[in-house]
Amino acid sequence: MGEGGRAGGNWANWLEYKPDSPAGKFPVNDSNDGRRPDAAADGRASPPDRRSAGGAAGLAFLPAERRAVGALAAIYATRMLGLFLLLPVLALYAAELPGATAALAGLAVGAYGLTQALLQIPFGVASDRFGRRPVITAGLVLYALGSVLGALAGSVWAVIVARMVQGAGAVSAPVTALLADLTRDTIRTRAMALIGISIAGSFLLSLVGAPALSAKIGVPGLFWVMAALAVGALVLLWTVVPATPDAPHATAPTGATAATAGRTAAPQQAAVPPRPSRVAGAWNRTLRPYYFGMFVLHFVLTATFVGVPNALQEQLGVALAEHWKTYLGVFVLSLAGTVPLVFWTERSRHPDGVMRYGIALLLFAQGALAFAYGSYWGLACALVGFFAAFNFLEARLPARLSQAAGPAARGAALGLFATAQFLGAFAGGAAGGLLHGSALGLEGVFGVSALGALAWLLVYRPKPPDPARTRE
């Protein structure tokens, strides 16, 4: 049975903690293998860890893990809320600025993805070398600066530049790597799923709130909100995230120091010497399919939000301030597709195979949009399928990648993964704008997205489960 199978579908076990169990006191991680924290340094034996041995308790969060996951989910959600706030409104806003064209409006939507893509690998590798939190801090400062520039922008090119500065704060890989550093492998899919839920909540809040909020404070006001959110994320990072050594490859503590660290800090990665070929090691046949999948997924997402707002306003006559009603309804209904896929993945012995169904649903939804965007109910039904597939795949892909990548290359692998994600966002925005302004119009926007999903489905080959990670 795959991860989560022992919980028997009982979501209450997600946050269960039993302080009287050995695992409640001594977390299992790559550096101690279930021994007491002080034994990790001197080799002494210790009682077995019941959580890693099996049972529903093995899937419960430890206190330090619960705190880390909650704080990092809030940081991720805070930052993504800022990005998502612009998604439903920026294409329409940018099209009205001086010097704007349909292509430049699409570029404004996806421009942040270009600098995100260029800097994800450097940020990921830097986080392996210098520590997660200093690198995340630098990224959030850049993001706040770009938000201020966007609030003051007076032309479409100024907005594009501001979005690129925002994108320079490429913290997705370090944040995801820090989450992986602070959680055991047995609960990492669940931890990543909680991150996915927080992102989905941010997404929903943005879809519902952005159209109405922009009608009151304008898109420049949304940029100011984004700057404030970046400051809030910095506060969470330094006040709530559990204290851990900032450099994952620093020398491991020994003796009394290790014992103290085991009692006061979250699970840490084993000491691994820095390697100059981290990126090359992360570019392998096992991990490349996940990079390609994330590229396609975010190409489709950004292109969709170049096309859908224009379809609602231009084709269906729905005012921007009313778009939130459509987004809220379809997102809530989409949970009827996302939740079964998540449960199926957790219960299946071949969870990667379930991803094919998510990809197929994404393909179907984009094809339906290409044919039915002129009908309100047709567009709404297609969006239900799109959100169901997107939310499932967005949570599953990084969870699986973090398991497949080893601790020494995890930051670099997640950097490549995030590079693919934001290259997809940039390409989707740019292609969506060009297609929308061409003779192909909205059919071209949704049709090309469907072709991307088809290519992903054709090249994707599910891998059998890792016996070391799968428990019957």
Q: Give me the pLDDT at residue 148, please.
A: 94
Q: Give me the pLDDT at residue 442, please.
A: 92
Q: Give me the pLDDT at residue 121, please.
A: 75
The tokens for 323 are 């778009």
Distance CA 30, CA 52 (A): 12
Only one residue has tokens 């028997």, namely 8
Domain positions in the chain are 60-246+278-459
Q: What is the average pLDDT score of the chain?
A: 75
**Close Cβ partners of 211 (under 8 Å, ≥ 6 residues apart):** 88, 89, 320, 321, 322, 323, 324, 327
**Close Cβ partners of 408 (under 8 Å, ≥ 6 residues apart):** 128, 249, 272, 275, 278, 281
Radius of gyration of the chain (CA): 22
Q: Give me the pLDDT at residue 252, please.
A: 37
Q: Give me the pLDDT at residue 160, please.
A: 93
Most confident segment among 24-28, 187-191, 328-332, 351-355:
328-332
pLDDT of 455 strictly over 80:
yes
Widest Cα–Cα separation across the chain = 72
Q: Give me the pLDDT at residue 299, please.
A: 94
pLDDT of 395 strictly over 90:
no
Q: Which of 6-10, 54-58, 151-155, 211-215 comes out lowest in average pLDDT?
A: 6-10
Q: Give me the pLDDT at residue 460, please.
A: 81
Q: Give me the pLDDT at residue 445, please.
A: 94
Own/partner pairs, 231-237, CB within 8 angstroms, 24+ separation: 231/144, 232/78, 233/74, 233/75, 233/78, 233/79, 233/140, 234/137, 234/140, 234/141, 236/71, 236/74, 236/75, 236/78, 237/71, 237/75, 237/133, 237/136, 237/137, 237/140
Instruction: Give pLDDT tens digits for 322-336.
Output: 888 898 899 889 988
**Share above pLDDT 90 across residues of the chain, in percent, rounded to a whole number:** 22
The tokens for 75 are 């940081």
pLDDT of 251 strictly over 50:
no
Regarding the domain with residue range 60-246+278-459, which homologous superfamily does it belong to in the CATH classification?
MFS general substrate transporter like domains (1.20.1250.20)
244 — pLDDT class (breaks 50, 70, 90): low
**Share above pLDDT 70 across residues of the chain, in percent, rounded to a whole number:** 73
For the residues 390-416, what does the mean pLDDT come to? Answer: 77
Select from 69, 33, 73, 124 the least CA-distant residue to 405.
Answer: 124
For the residues 417-428, what does the mean pLDDT come to? Answer: 86
- CA–CA distances in Å: residue 443 to residues 219, 422, 451, 453: 27, 24, 12, 15
Q: Which of 218-227, 273-282, 391-400, 429-438 comes out lowest in average pLDDT?
A: 273-282
Q: Are 69 and 183 in contact (CB under 8 A)?
A: yes
pLDDT of 221 strictly over 50:
yes
Q: Are 327 and 454 in contact (CB under 8 A)?
A: no
pLDDT of 385 strictly over 80:
yes
Mapping DSSP to helix (H, G, I), strand (E, B) and coil, where does residue 248 land? coil
Q: Are 380 and 36 in contact (CB under 8 A)?
A: no
**Close Cβ partners of 284 (under 8 Å, ≥ 6 residues apart):** none
pTM, rounded to two decimals: 0.68
Name the more confident of 194 and 351.
Answer: 194
Name the more confident of 414 and 245.
Answer: 414
Select from 232, 183, 200, 177 the least CA-distant residue to 69.
Answer: 183
Backbone angles phi, psi at 34, to 5 degrees: 90, -5
Q: Give me the pLDDT at residue 24, please.
A: 38
Instruction: Give pLDDT tens digits for 125-159.
Output: 888 788 888 888 898 999 999 999 999 998 999 99
